[in-house]
Each structure stands twice: as structure tokens, then as C-alpha cells.
Amino acid sequence: MKYRALLAAAILTLAACTAPASVTASTVPGVTTTPTSSPGTPTSSPGTPTSSPAAVTPGTTSCDNPPEAFQPLCTAYHIITTSYVDPVDDSRLAEGAARAITEHESEPGATAPDSLTCALPSPAFAQMCNAFVEEELTDPAPTPDLVAAAISGMLQYGLDDPYSVYFSPDALARFQEETSGQIEGIGALVRSEDTSTPEDGPCSTISDTCQLVIVTPLEGGPAEGVGLRSGDIMTTVDGESIDGWLVDEVIAEVRGPAGTDVTLGILRDGTPLEFTITRAAIDIPIVSSRMIDDSIGYLELTIFATNAPHQVDTALRELLDAGATTIILDLQHDPGGSLNSAIFVASEFLSDGLVLRTEAPGDTEEYPVTPGGIATDPSIALYVLVDRASASASEVVTGAFMDAGRATVIGEHTFGKNTVQQQFNLGNGGALKLTVARWVTPKGHDYGKVGLTPDILIEIPDGAEPDFLLNKALEIIRG
């Protein structure tokens, strides 16, 4: 299987940081351990024939002093076992690492490295080291590639958490690009859907039950221009089936330099279609706003990107200056984003109190409202629009409003993502995005997996016009 980290559609991140690894591994039965002899001294395990001088002898070492290529693995293991929100099963991490190495597909013509010394984060990782040696001897690959696969495997198979992922250097650049509000690609928002679950929750590996669905083509973008539609299911990229790919691998293949083409296979209402799209530089429309009439202002936020606070503040000021006494905040399809951005947006409408609490093992942290919001006056009526794709930071903001009685929430049950991820850099240009806490509303409500229930519940039919919920809200507001 090809591997890349999952880039989840719903993301709630904290500040980046790094963490060291310091894990000592003892000699493990079944794995030959590199003896601590002086350089050039031939060594062998009892009962094991001594290799010829030209042979490469497999061996292990601890994470106290690992081979350079294994340092990211040791660091990742330390971070996972000390920072993950739930207790971690060491054997599952090791099994996941070994499985990912075994499934790794090497590039043709690769040769085995000069050293087969493997670092053991813990004794359970003997199976990973065995898989590493066997893979290098039968299907050689650069050691950093197998280490990256092992890190990805610890998360994908060891935690069963679609929001905890490994970002390769390329994937990290794409993630940072997306949360900055500017990308190069086809101009479409996508999400993974697990059709085997009632709520069509996220999934990581494309299969018969895990689909990558177009949420919406961005207005004026290449995807809209060729006729892609909301609800289209992606099946191929440049003629190659994406079955078995991880979600982030598909995203990586679809994105690319402006001016280049990509051909997508699409399933629409059971009919296979094909679209060739010329990629372009895309400014993700973080905010759009307008006056609907003399007193009602409309503000749509599509993602809580790092540049969202400035855009929200500017748009909100313009609406208020234009005479808006009612604000409709549209968070439909908003998958979340930066926690700092969520706190800022909530604070624009709340004068005091909390935005949320996060709960981690042995630690609870409170995030208060930031003073100085420009729409805190209770005479400014606030309505919030949500749907089943409103997730993470969208739910943080909506939950804070509901607890404070600040807004009337209209729409569908929200997505139900209540976890907080933190980014940890690994020193190889890649990073972990790891679930480190769960969030609850200021009053302690936990909406994980079930989502928020709006004050006024309105089911949005499939194929509804983009303004369906807005029009329903206007009917309610105007009475």
C-alpha cells in the first residue's frame, strides 16, 4: 500500500512545538543486538555464523543513541506515549509500525543501505526491526522512507484515531498552505466519508466504504469551471484508481503547480464521468459578506484559517457600519481550523466568560473570551447557520454562543469533533499532528461524535440550493 498521512477535513490545532526522545531499550529475544565493541572488531551472536566482511550485519540499538535516520521515529514514539490524550497500547504501536514497513512499496532500483541497525523505542518494537531488516533485504528502500512508514503506521494502525497523523515534509507544507488560506490546485473542498457508519464520519483509506467526496467547488475556481458538483465522488486520478490510497495521498496528487493538468474520475449518481482540470493558484475564500437588507448583515466563514481573524473583523465592521442590527454567521461546511482563530471569532460577539475548556489526562485548561469584541452588544441579534459538515472550531464557537445564550443556532446536527490536535516537529522536516486533549463547552457539555443540536433544527435535503438554509433563516428572522 502507498502511504501518506491523513489530512482530515476537520482540524483543530494548537501551536507547534518539538519534544525530545529518551527511551532505553534492552536486548530483545529474536533480534540481534549490536554489541558495544570497538570499531573494526568482528562480532556475532552465539550460534550465529559470522558474516563475511562484505555483508551487512543487522542489529539494534536503543533510542538513547539511535542511528540518525531513526531519530524521528524515537522522537515520535516519545511524543505519542507522553502526550496522547488516551492511554497507549505499546504493542499496537509496534504492530502498526511493522505493518506499515511491510506494506511499503519501494521505488524500482533501490538498494539496501550500508547499515541495517534499527533503533528500538521499546522491547515491543522487535517485530518492527525484524520487518525493517527483512524489507531492506528483499525490497530495499532508503531507510528514512521506511522510518516514515513506521511513524505513519504507529498512528494509523496503533491509535485508531483519524485526526492523529504523520505529515511528511511535503504533506506538512500542504497542510500549512491550506491553513494559510492560499493553495495551488483545482479549487474544491473535499472530505472523506465512511459510509459504513450512520453519521458518515471521517476515514483514512479509500475503499468501498471510504469515499472522498466533493463538498463544494470554490466559486470561480477550475473545478467549478469544468462542472464538478457538490456530492461528486472521486474514483481515479490521472487514470489510476485511488482505492487503497490514503486521503492525503489523493490530495497530494490532485494538487500541483498552477498551469498543469490533472484528470479526475468522478462517480455522480452512479454514473462514471471524467474531468480534465487545469490547476490554478487559489485564494481560499475565507470570508464573504453582504448586507441582505437595511438591517441584516450576512457573514460566511469557510475555514478558521490563520488569517481568518483579520478578515472576519474587517467584514464585521463593514456590516455594522452599514447599519446591521442583525448578523447571520454562516458556518455551513466549515471544517474548523485554528483554535486561536476560533477564540477570536467567538470573542467578537461575547463580552466575557469562556470560549471552551480542554481536558487532557491530569490537566484542564480554560480559554477565556478576549476582550474588545466589536459585536458584543446584546442589541445586535446573532443567528448562526450550521450543517452536518460544520466541525471542530465551528462547533467550539457555536457551543460557546449556545452556552452564553448569545445566538440562535439554525440548521442540522453538527459533525461532532471534540478533539484538539497539537503539531510536533520531528527534526526531519516532517511533523506529527496528535490528539492531545478533548474540548468541552464552557458549561462542560461534550458533543463528541453526536454534534451540537441547533435551537431550530432544519434538515437540509440533498441537492438543496446553496442558500436553502439562509432563506429558511430569513423567514424565521422576519417572522
Q: What is the DSSP string of 264-286?
A: EEEEETTEEEEEEEE-EEEE---
Q: How far apart are CA 40 and CA 324, in angstroms?
A: 80
Which residue, 31, 32, 53, is CA-closest to 42? 53
Please say whether the beta carbons of 116 and 182 come within 8 A: no
What whole-number distance in Å separates Cα of residue 477 and Cα of residue 468? 14
One-letter identity of residue 412: E
Catalytic residue among 62, 341, 403, 433, which?
Answer: 403
Measured between its terminal Cα atoms, the distance across the chain in Å is: 56
Closest by CA position to 66, among listed 36, 111, 17, 24:
24
Amino acid (one-letter) located at 423: Q
Give the helix/strand (H/E) hosting 384.
strand 381-386
Tell me which residue of 277, 290, 195 sits closest to 236, measured CA to CA.
277
Annotated active-site residue 449? The verdict is no
| φ, ψ of residue 251 in degrees (nearest 5) | -60, -40
DSSP 304: B
Q: Does 392 qualify as catalytic in the annotation?
A: yes
**CA torsion angle for 431, 437, 441, 442 (degrees, to 10)?**
-110
- 421 in Cβ contact with 436 (< 8 Å): yes
Note the Cα 289 to chain centre separation in Å: 27
Contact 41/448 with Cβ under 8 angstroms?
Answer: no
Taking every pair of Cα atoms in the chain, the longest distance, rounded to a whole number of angstroms, is: 89
Residue 385 C-alpha cell reads as: 447557520
Closest to 204 (Cα-Cα) out of 147, 165, 172 = 165
User: Are 63 and 119 within 8 A, CB to CB?
Assistant: yes
Strand 326-330 and strand 296-301: the pairing is parallel
Q: Among 122, 392, 394, 433, which one carries the catalytic annotation?
A: 392
Which residue in the list 417, 462, 467, 472 is annotated as catalytic?
A: 417
**What is the residue type of 110?**
A
Amino acid identity at 400: A
Q: Label residue 472 exposed, middle or buried (CB < 10 Å: 0-12, 13-18, 19+).
A: middle
Alpha carbons 33 and 392: distance in angstroms, whole number:
46
Give catalytic status of residue 37 as yes or no.
Answer: no
Q: What is the DSSP letter of 33?
A: P
> What one-letter code names the amino acid at 294?
D
Residues with catalytic function = 392, 403, 417
